[in-house]
Structure 1
Amino acid sequence: MPRRLRLEGESLQSILDEARRTHGPEARIVSAERVITGGIKGLFGRQHFEAVVEVTSAPSAPATASAVRFPASRRAGIAALLDDADDADRLHPSRAEDLEVSTGGEEFAALLDELVAETALVAPPAPATADGPSTAPGDLVALVGLGHDAVPVARAMAGSLALLVAGAGLADAGDAPRVDGRRGATEARARGVRAGTATAVAVGVGVDPADARAVLDELGPEEVWVVVDASRKPADTAAWVGAVRRLADVRAMVVVGQELTLTPETVEALGLPVGWDAR
């Protein structure tokens, strides 16, 4: 006879995998809730999922894991499902005796199977480390940081890897060339090709996302890194780094200011690999 259990995990896929390992391949999710703890007004908090799983009374042999695939056109249904969960909390049974949810049936189960795949695709775990920046001739490596934070990092990379240095945005790179506009980016690429190396561009931004958007659009870099100061307020850092990540694919971060704080590990919450040791 089927019975229902409440489980939680980092993703719906991990919940489903655990249920099927423990209770057999017939286990299925019948309701789910996305839970965010901490953060500021729901931003930058830790996310996990709580789900009600229907299992048979006798567990069977563990199922072989397989990838779930579905057409891109069905992902609109997944987004709608999550929106409904946020707006009406309809996927969350309020009491133990309310486990019989109105969104039952095969259609709901199919949507949840797709949601498992979608959440697995959206947030892959970041590696703990990353290789260094590109050294390919003509490549532009944008090191994005608040104010002038990225300048010493660009110079350190240049000293270790024989990269060229340039400045952009709010960053003052001294006597290094500035990359202002598309023409400046083209000239920087040409210098790199002639020198047989890449250019580390120290990009200075403020907390306004528009600062980063304007510079990155004109620069068109091959790689985007962020330079984060561990001694700054974690919420402020999360806000501007999040804005940059919405604009570009951020490859890795460089951490500075670790010696100025007793809690340098707070930057780990950003979920980015550390690609360069600035110490």
Structure 2
Amino acid sequence: MPRRLLLAGDTLEAILDQARREHGPDVRIVSAERIITGGIKGLFGRQHYEAVVEVASSPTLRVTDHPVRFPAARRAGIAALLDDADGADRLEPSRTEDVEMSTGGDGFAAMLDELIAETALPEPARGPRGDGPSTAPGDLVALVGLGDDAVAVAHAMHARLGLLTGAAGQARDVDAPRVVDRRSATEARARGVHAGTSTAVAVGLTADLADGLRTLDDLAPEQVWVVVDAARKHADTAAWVDGLRGVVHVHAMVVVGRALTRTPETVQLLGLPEGWEAG
């Protein structure tokens, strides 16, 4: 049975950091209250937070520790491309202005030979996989958000890190190719390998997660991030984020809309690390 502890700190983030250091990563804030002490009628007082944190009483099994919906998430991006290309009868990838390639003929066969050689390299040589989004050639980074929330984030990752971009589900981006099924995911991986980087796919959800989960199942991304709008009701955001986390491991979150709310700190109640500054 999980245990609940009352912790205090200057910020909710500080409370979460303390809880993770002392009790491991599988903790979450279940309630929080802002406390003001001293001052005159609430003015000029000292502010801090008290939060109830739920801690697992024993090590819990993470989603990625047993078979999940996205088997390709355990494979390196290049290896996934090789597997998919080998198993496909015939692929006709979409054309883009920046990258043009065909999966038929000697050119594609030569590229696969190069990829086979690259898969023998140690992991660090294939691209960084730190706290930020993966930039490993051929990886897919799924940025999951409501509607078009993730589109601007994908473009920011393109501008700052050079990631390619794609769009899926309810996300609409006229400047990015659609990545909506197994074949288009393979094409996106191939473009990433050719360009030497990963692809940030903006996946747009509705309140009903079913279509979004089917899309993710086809994409089989190496990383899943959530893009959350701090200006939306926290209960609504927590509902779809918790539903997604029940199916797949979420690497981190990106927070947008902070300037549109007076309580941007509520997103920290989701218990996810913030791996990218939306700017």
TM range (shorter): 0.5 to 0.7
Deviation beyond 4 Å, 4+ runs, structure 1: 36-39, 45-49
Letter in 1 for 2:196: G
- Equivalence map 1:91-240=2 (5 Å): 116=57, 118=58, 120-121=59-60, 131-240=131-240
The Cα shift of 1:9 comes to 5.0
Q: Using the alignment, how far apart are the partners of 1:139 and 1:38 within structure 2?
A: 36
Q: Using the alignment, how far apart are the partners of 1:172 and 1:258 within structure 2?
A: 22
- Higher relative CO (Cα under 8 Å, sequence separation at least 6) belongs to 2
1:98 corresponding residue in structure 2:
none
Q: Contact 1:212/1:244 (CA < 8 Å) preserved in 2?
A: no
Give the greater-gyration-radius structure (CA): 1
Letter in 2 for 1:270: L
- Go from structure 1 to structure 2 and tell me whether the alpha carbon gap of 1:48 and 1:245 turns closer, same or farther (over 3 Å shift): closer
Q: Using the alignment, how far apart are the partners of 1:132 and 1:38 within structure 2?
A: 28
Letter in 1 for 2:178: R
- Go from structure 1 to structure 2 and tell me whether the alpha carbon gap of 1:48 and 1:275 turns closer, same or farther (over 3 Å shift): closer
Name the TM-score, length of structure 2 as normaliser. 0.57
Letter in 2 for 1:260: L
Q: Contact 1:254/1:277 (CA < 8 Å) preserved in 2?
A: yes
Letter in 1 for 2:149: D
Gaps of 5+ in 1: 1-7, 12-35, 40-44, 50-114, 124-129
Tell me how many residue pairs correspond in the alignment. Answer: 170
The Cα shift of 1:215 comes to 0.9
1:248 corresponding residue in structure 2:
248
Q: Using the alignment, how far apart are the partners of 2:184 and 2:4 within structure 1?
A: 48
1:270 corresponding residue in structure 2:
270
Gaps of 5+ in 2: 7-28, 33-50, 63-129
Q: RMSD of aligned C-alpha atoms?
A: 2.5
Q: Using the alignment, how far apart are the partners of 2:268 and 2:239 within structure 1?
A: 14
Name the TM-score, length of structure 1 as normaliser. 0.57
Residue identity (%): 60
Q: Please give the secondary structure, in 2, of the residue aligned with 1:10.
A: strand
